[in-house]
Structure 1
């Protein structure tokens, strides 16, 4: 294999690992681990699924507060599509996101969210990082009506 092909393969593997690192950090509620996922000046837009948008530090601060209401959740990512151009890349990543939701009357239920992450990446001295991430809604299943109303979805 020639050096350029090896570099493309190495970049793709590192980008896939970056996407998985993000999902695992969120699911472990290890929000400080996101510092090795995003660039310090990253812009994140979670509005498509009812969240906020803004600079990475503000969104990082918001995440623990927003996710504290869910006893459990999981991000399963795949269908990774990357376009790599030197030290920049874009990506479209599928995410299946089941979340346990407390019921107002007691107990819990599980909803399923399907979304795409639409990303821009930059190669940094520490490796690839996400410089921009936006969610694109695909579907929600079993989302409680009270939550849809509160999120204005």
Structure 2
């Protein structure tokens, strides 16, 4: 009975570590934190990110600053996490809704995307990281021109999020340090 309880606890802790990895990915993407993003993948990982990348994650991560440069707003929301573990390997189907506001020479436009990540994870040297991540788009809702209103009266007096170190979280948090998992 004790061994079974210990095994269940180990599975629970592994699932929590993978869940935190998924959340760290969303935070790194939304804050344009490229160092943090790079730390989430194993060196030999694969990333399939539509037209942006299909192959070694290192290549995707190298292109990420250019990909995200026109993104005025990124907001990834994980809604459902389905995980299956097998020792030091795991797979996940992660549902998400991601808001993108994109800057162009013609102005701003929005794309709200609903989809899933098909993930494979590996635990190496005691740490879970992505070994393969593939984006699956289920739907997209575009708005051109942008419908985002950061000057809406409901937002009056609120801190306004921003990519990178201009985001209010960098000055607010002491425990949730930016650039770390």
TM-score range, shorter chain: 0.7 to 0.9
Tell me the distance in 1 between the aligned counterparts of 2:126 and 2:81: 21
Tell me the distance in 2 between the aligned counterparts of 1:66 and 1:140: 18
Matched, 1:36 2:30: no
The structure number with the bigger radius of gyration is 2
Question: What's the secondary structure of 2:80's corresponding residue?
Answer: strand
Aligned to 2:28: 25
Give the 3 Å change call, closer, same or farther, for CA 143–66 of structure 1 in structure 2.
farther
5+ residue gaps, structure 1, are: 145-153
Give the 3 Å change call, closer, same or farther, for CA 65–93 of structure 1 in structure 2.
same
Aligned to 2:151: none
Aligned to 1:58: 59
Aligned to 2:174: none
Aligned to 2:102: 101
Give the 3 Å change call, closer, same or farther, for CA 24–119 of structure 1 in structure 2.
same
CA RMSD of aligned residues (A): 1.6
Q: Following superposition, which runs of at least 4 residues in structure 1 exceed 2 angstroms of deviation?
A: 101-106
* Length-normalised TM-score, structure 2: 0.73
Aligned to 1:84: 85
How many residues are treated as equivalent by the alignment? Answer: 141
CA shift, 1:53, in A, is: 1.3
Give the 3 Å change call, closer, same or farther, for CA 29–87 of structure 1 in structure 2.
same
5+ residue gaps, structure 2, are: 145-181
Between 51-60 and 131-140, report the one with greater CA deviation: 51-60
Matched, 1:142 2:145: no
Per-residue CA shift, 1:40-97, capped at 9, x if unaligned?
A: 00000001xx322121211101111011011111111130000001100000001111
